[in-house]
Amino acid sequence: MTQFGCKDTKKFIPLRPNSKRKIMSCQLLQGKKGVIFGALNEASIAWKVAEKAVEAGAQITLSNTPMALRMGEVNALGEKLNAKIIPADATSIEDLANVFKESTEILGGQIDFVLHSIGMSPNVRKKRTYDDLDYTMLSQTLDISAVSFHKMIQQARKLDAISEGGSILALSYVAAQRTFYGYNDMADAKALLESIARSFGYIYGREKGVRVNTISQSPTMTTAGSGVKGMDQLFDFANKMSPLGNASADECADYCIVMFSDLTKKVTMQNLFHDGGFSSMGMSLRAMNQYSKSLDEFKDETGKIIYG
């Protein structure tokens, strides 16, 4: 049998390819300290990352907005993982500085990894279309979903809160590169997010070997995901187009753990697609079969063609 497993302290556990056995027994993050922003409920990508990080041997703190904490499920996660929860609005540099100060105190030293798993667009929420954006709301979208990543890294760096060779990750979406109907101003936020990863990745890498990357994830059924217009169709389309199918939140969390680990020490300033191959596809047979059923123009109730 292939030696496909990992060292579990003394004994090497052989795993068959495609084994259902949990890979995280590898303890890839043994002794590491992390801060995870954005776990809201069990569906959240950050929730899965938090669980897997602890399973892989890390100690963590969790952060989300006071409102998200009041809404409620994060406390249960904190208890389960023995992780302190530090409230913060990610647009507030004071709140962010406090998260890093408290986290280094609680965890007893510098932080080895940070996850930014935060996104929100008031324009999407209020159903303002891209050709009718409210600009105050656009500023909020960019601040919450992208500039907060800059604020986070800037505060952590000023406090020297990240250890040498640490790993900082944010979650992105392919709408940063290509246009997806309905993704709205979040596309602009994701483009900015990815750019911040490159710009800060240069500074922090040169200075302290800290890696800064984004993972561009498949459509995923979470609270933020279901706010995207036509999410069900988008999810199905991406699934039919991707040779490996859509990546789940669980699988995304696995990728995050590898990116936090010492196995990816020289990966930085990248936007890493974690999408079952979607971003390299043009047309798949499954998608073609689906769309050959009707090539009619899409019309509204008055018969007007909509170029959506």
Q: Does residue 45 interact with ligand NAD by CB under 6 A?
A: yes
Contact between 126 and 54 (Cβ < 8 Å)? no
Q: Does residue 223 interact with ligand NAD by CB under 6 A?
A: yes
CB of 270 to ligand NAD, least distance (A): 16
Among positions 224, 238, 241, 256, the unique one binding ligand NAD when judged by CB under 6 A: 224
Q: Does residue 78 interact with ligand NAD by CB under 6 A?
A: no
Q: Does residue 86 interact with ligand NAD by CB under 6 A?
A: no
Judging by DSSP bridges, how do beta strands 162-172 and 59-64 pair with one another? unpaired
Q: Does residue 40 interact with ligand NAD by CB under 6 A?
A: yes
CB of 246 to ligand NAD, least distance (A): 9
Nearest to 145 by CA among 114, 195, 186, 199: 186
Q: Does residue 261 interact with ligand NAD by CB under 6 A?
A: no
Residues in the chain: 308
Q: Does residue 248 interact with ligand NAD by CB under 6 A?
A: no
DSSP 219: P
Q: Does residue 38 interact with ligand NAD by CB under 6 A?
A: yes
Helix 45-55, helix 249-260: angle, nearest 10 = 50
CB of 200 to ligand NAD, least distance (A): 17
Site string for ligand NAD, 178-217 (x = CB under 6 A): ---------------------------------------x
- Residue 198 to residue 201: CA distance in whole angstroms: 5
Contact between 53 and 29 (Cβ < 8 Å)? yes
Non-local (6+) Cβ contacts of 94 within 8 A are none
Among positions 35, 90, 146, 196, the unique one binding ligand NAD when judged by CB under 6 A: 90
What's the Cα-to-Cα distance from 175 to each of 12, 113, 118, 152, 217, rounded to whole Å?
A: 42, 26, 16, 23, 11
Angle at 173 between CA 26 and CA 283, to 5 degrees: 100
Of 117-146, binders to ligand NAD (CB under 6 A) are: 117-120, 144
CB of 232 to ligand NAD, least distance (A): 12
CB of 305 to ligand NAD, least distance (A): 29
Q: Does residue 69 interact with ligand NAD by CB under 6 A?
A: no
- List phi, psi (to 5°) of 140: -65, -45
**Residues at the interface with ligand NAD (CB under 6 A):** 38, 40, 44-46, 64-65, 68, 89-91, 117-120, 144, 171-173, 217, 219-220, 222-225
